[in-house]
Amino acid sequence: MIGLKVHKSEAEAVRRKLLSMRALSRRFKSLRVGDYVVFPLEREVKGLGEIIHASFQERKRTPPEIEGKFDIIGDIALISRAENEQEIAKELMKRKNIRVVAIRAGHREGEFRKMKIRLLAGENRLETIHRENKCVFKVNIGECFFDPRLSYERREVAKEVKENERVLDMFAGVGPFSIVIGKLSSPREIISVEKNQVAFSYLKHNIKLNKLDEKITPILGDSRDVVPVLPGKFHRIIMNLPERSKEFLPIAEEKLADGGVIYLYSIGESPEDVLNDIHMRVLGVRRVKSYSPKRYIFRVKLTR
């Protein structure tokens, strides 16, 4: 079978490109060979890397009725509302990496963006250890916000952070942006602010777990009070509170170093919709994920 060999540093971008071209075979697993990844191909593609012949292992098929309907956070499978929830739970519990199956029992609510979750099968807990981007996160998915689908986004932001920069994560949660940046890049320091006491405890724990105590300073509090009194300016400011981030933009702008970049996550139907009331210079807009049937979360990069 033919495969596409690319360096691991380009693998995620190439995987997305292949998916969009419908050229990636979903039936087989990709291979890791040293610093390279080999993707199984449906057909030959040009200009993305070296085409080679290889044998690939077949994937265990996800039954079509549950395909795309769940997230995996550590060893917890989290499904969305479904009529056949018990059947799906039973199917998911067959996987050796799943110990708990739970279902979203409502939307994210309140300023801490917590979600009501109901256990369906397996062990009686919502705490787990999740791995991504060479980092480890302990998280309770009923008490704190955590979205495994932002893994690519976090890596993309981390790649932009340059050596010796100062980073401010204004709505840090259990620390995924701060920690991925701390692990994959070389900033001078990262300040991570979080208001939810429970998420803050996990944030502190995760900083230790990832051995980033010397790089990341966690602060418990409301960014509205904390950020204005922080000393100095920041080269990168992360604002992942999509429902309300714009309210905090003037505070962030005050703390932005010359040439610095704000990564503002915000909700809208289109880029124009999101940019409508923003008065800073826009460096780029990326649609990150769906939020509701007609609305999306966008990442807007801003500078002065």
Ligand X SMILES: C[S@@+](CC[C@H](N)C(=O)[O-])C[C@H]1O[C@@H](n2cnc3c(N)ncnc32)[C@H](O)[C@@H]1O
Which residue, 91 or 194, has its beta carbon nearer to ligand X?
A: 194
Question: Is residue 202 involved in binding ligand X (CB under 6 A)?
Answer: no
Instruction: Report the residue from 87, 160, 222, 254 that binds ligand X according to the rule CB under 6 A.
Output: 222
Please give the Cα distance from 299 to 85 (Å, whole number). 33
Question: Is residue 288 involved in binding ligand X (CB under 6 A)?
Answer: no
CB 182 within 8 Å of CB 238: no
Region of 106 (left: φ > 0; alpha: ψ -120 to 50; beta: rest) is: left
Instruction: Using alpha carbons, select from 94, 98, 104 the residue that is nearest to residue 128.
Output: 98
Instruction: Report the residue from 104, 113, 235, 255 that binds ligand X according to the rule CB under 6 A.
Output: 113
Instruction: Report the residue from 28, 39, 145, 263 that binds ligand X according to the rule CB under 6 A.
Output: 145
CB 259 within 8 Å of CB 267: no
Question: Is residue 25 involved in binding ligand X (CB under 6 A)?
Answer: no
Q: What single-letter amino acid sits at 171?
A: F
Which residue, 91 or 143, has its beta carbon nearer to ligand X?
A: 143
The footprint of ligand X on this chain (CB under 6 A) covers a number of residues equal to 22
Give 228's DSSP letter: G
Identify which range of 107-115, 208-216, 274-282, 284-292 contacts ligand X by CB under 6 A. Answer: 107-115
Which residue, 37 or 172, has its beta carbon nearer to ligand X?
A: 172
Please give the Cα distance from 283 to 87 (Å, whole number). 46
CB 187 within 8 Å of CB 167: yes
Which residue, 173 or 260, has its beta carbon nearer to ligand X?
A: 173
Within 10 Å of residue 131's Cβ, how many Cβ atoms?
11
Please count the CA atoms within 13 angstroms of the CA of 125 that sit on its side-chain side.
13
How far apart are CB 152 and ligand X at their closest, in Å? Answer: 13
Q: What are phi and psi of 274, to 5 degrees?
A: -70, -35
Question: Is residue 247 involved in binding ligand X (CB under 6 A)?
Answer: no
Instruction: Report the residue from 25, 128, 201, 240 that binds ligand X according to the rule CB under 6 A.
Output: 240
Identify which range of 23-31, 78-86, 87-95, 187-195 contacts ligand X by CB under 6 A. Answer: 187-195
Summarize as ranges the residues that interact with ligand X (CB under 6 A): 111-113, 145-147, 150, 171-173, 176-177, 193-196, 199, 222-224, 240-241
